[in-house]
Structure 1
Amino acid sequence: MSKAIQKQNKSNVFYGYLMVIAAFFWSGAFIAGKFSVQEFPVFSLTFYRFLFASMIIFLILIKTEQNWKIGREDLKTFLILAIIGMIGYHIFFFLALKYTSPVNASLIGAINPIITTILSFIFLKEVIKIKNVVAIVLSFSGVALIITNGKWQVLKSLSFNIGDLLMIIGVICWASYAILSKKALIKYSPLKVTSYAFLFCAILLIPMVILEKPWVYIPDTSLNGWLSIFYMSFFASVIGYLIHQIAIKNIGPSRSSLYINLVPLFSMILAYFFLHESISIIKLIASLLIIIGVLINIGVFFPDNKE
């Protein structure tokens, strides 16, 4: 194995570990969301999350990059990123949960790596290796086990409704965001791409927030509600999305997307500690499948050894 290949394998592992951190922070957003979704309307919840995230990440951007502005010719690019990746995914996800079951939504969400891989192959001409396919299958199987708790007859009762279709659109939005980000990252740093996507998201949501009458619900909003939004803004958005952009730039959208399958695993662990939910043997086996799939994907198992 050449030094170049060894260096690339180490790089893949490093960015893979970063994506594990991102997945952990994203999973925490589900716990935080249990508090905030009860106190904020859908558009307002998304708005406050990315408003605070924009304020934080722009401070980082201005302090770390001398040229922190973007050209007018790229306004359309960031507008599309905000609409598809920030507003699109989050709004469709929250709306989907109003019409479909968590089982349906979770299973549909778990196909994100598959959709991203297909889109990467079509639009970015990324090479799909056998080990990547194996990794996707293993991780998806683990997610399905966690969701069904090993009772595969649950899958027979699945029926598509408007919520399922909304969730599919949400997943496509997220996968498309990853693909479009790859092209934006050719010109801009991950920090700048993330910062302006957040900012455009917050600005575009202002009219919808006004329609939701914030002066009515804000006086009754609890401290836990605001703390939940802060968690989602800083940890799940600023850190999580920034890591995601860095990973997309270095290891590609399809490989980065597989780590989304770690979110149900971490959510299960956090739910055990914070919500006192039990962890079964089936879920432990499922967790092992997900972890093996991720390790194969980042090159810990079966590293690339050809020029």
Structure 2
Amino acid sequence: MERENRKIYLLMVICTVFWAGAFIAGKIGVREFPPFSLAFFRFLFATIVIFAVMFKYEKKDWRLKHRDWLYMFLLGLIGMFGYHALFFTALKYTTAMNSSMIGATNPLITSILAAVFLKEHLGVKRLGAILLAFTGIILTVSNGDMTVLKTFSFNVGDLFMLAAVFCWAVYSIISRKIMDRYSPLILTSYSFLVCLVLLIPFVIWEKPAGYLPKVTWAGWASVLYMAIFASVIGYLVQQVSIKTIGASKTAAFINLVPVFSIILSAIILHEKITGVKLLSAVIIITGVYFNTKLKSLTEASAIKNKTMG
């Protein structure tokens, strides 16, 4: 068991490298594709692969019930279409470093929405962790310049990324409504498909005949990387990890994503690592870690009390 867990830990570290690489690949991709088209080609390849995986492992249980199509449409619209349209638009204006650090706050936004709409109890300590992480976000989007806060002259790319994170948090909340009826693989596969279909008119609007002949091998490589490594392989490894070591331990690895993103951004994109960015990353990761840790402790305590009762 211990050896199996070590393998999972190693795989999850590799998985976080894949997810971190998606920010770098996305930055490369937006240089050659318009945002909607980049999302379309990513999901075209990802949907084909993940549906093949779903058909193999879900057997006869992969069909959706009619009552759940609205939920699935919302998951695809908000969590996939909304997130990726905003994510790739953000990368046109901001750095991969900034986008990854802002993206790391997704668990915090999800916690806030869960408290508001699902009446999930936060507690003083979790609120403190959330406020700490948001201090890191403010430091990130202002780049340590307080005049930015006074004039509200933020980088538009950072604001798009914040909106993208909000979309993903809403996706997480909606998915809880039907996750007891379907496996995560089925939910992910159909949300990919919905996103792909929704993107079609926007791709046509972006006139692919004008840019496709100019796309280089690096552009297509970025698309395939995001589709296969970040979307499919990363997702499958995460699901195996959840089954083996549990959701809370798996979630802890997410904190490595901005760390690897900063390193890869500096090496591949030659983005500058500053003291402000490092401090922002430390503050955000610390806040996210303690929020996740406290959440898992609260859930474990609730289960224990329920069992004893």
TM-score band by shorter chain is 0.7 to 0.9
Mapping of 1:212-231 within 5 angstroms?
Answer: 212-231=206-225
Choose from 72, 80, 88 the match for 2:82: 88
Letter in 2 for 1:118: I
User: Would you say 1:127 and 2:121 are equivalent positions?
Assistant: yes
Structure 1 stretch displaced more, 80-89 or 280-289:
280-289
The answer to whether the Cα contact below 8 Å between 1:26 and 1:236 also exists between their aligned partners in 2 is yes
The unaligned stretches of length 5 or more in structure 2 are: 1-7
User: Would you say 1:45 and 2:21 are equivalent positions?
Assistant: no
2 CA distance for matches of 1:290 and 1:160?
A: 18
Secondary structure of 2:109's aligned partner: helix
The answer to whether the Cα contact below 8 Å between 1:29 and 1:236 also exists between their aligned partners in 2 is yes
Deviation string, structure 1 residues 161-194 (Cα, Å, up to 9, x no partner): 9878765653432221110111121111111100
User: Would you say 1:193 and 2:187 are equivalent positions?
Assistant: yes
User: Deviation of residue 146 (structure 1)?
Assistant: 4.6
2 CA distance for matches of 1:177 and 1:242?
A: 19
Mapping of 1:189-268 within 5 angstroms?
Answer: 189-240=183-234, 263-268=257-262
Secondary structure of 1:38's aligned partner: coil
- CA RMSD in angstroms, aligned pairs only: 4.1
The answer to whether the Cα contact below 8 Å between 2:135 and 2:283 also exists between their aligned partners in 1 is yes
Mapping of 1:1-307 within 5 angstroms?
Answer: 24-66=17-59, 67-95=61-89, 112-159=106-153, 169-240=163-234, 263-299=257-293, 303=297, 306=301, 307=305
User: Deviation of residue 87 (structure 1)?
Assistant: 1.0
1 CA distance for matches of 2:149 and 2:20?
A: 24
Letter in 2 for 1:121: A
2 CA distance for matches of 1:152 and 1:94?
A: 27
TM-score for the superposition, normalised by structure 2:
0.74
The answer to whether the Cα contact below 8 Å between 2:82 and 2:164 also exists between their aligned partners in 1 is yes
Aligned pairs, how many? Answer: 291
Deviation string, structure 1 residues 62-95 (Cα, Å, up to 9, x no partner): 1222222222332222111111111112223444
Structure 1 stretch displaced more, 50-59 or 117-126:
117-126
Residues 129 and 135 from structure 1, CA distance in 2 versus in 1: closer, same or farther, beyond 3 angstroms?
A: same
Counting aligned pairs with the same residue, the percent is 49
2 CA distance for matches of 1:261 and 1:68?
A: 32
2 CA distance for matches of 1:104 and 1:271?
A: 10
The answer to whether the Cα contact below 8 Å between 1:83 and 1:201 also exists between their aligned partners in 2 is yes
TM-score for the superposition, normalised by structure 1:
0.75
The unaligned stretches of length 5 or more in structure 1 are: 1-14
1 CA distance for matches of 2:282 and 2:157?
A: 30
Letter in 2 for 1:272: A
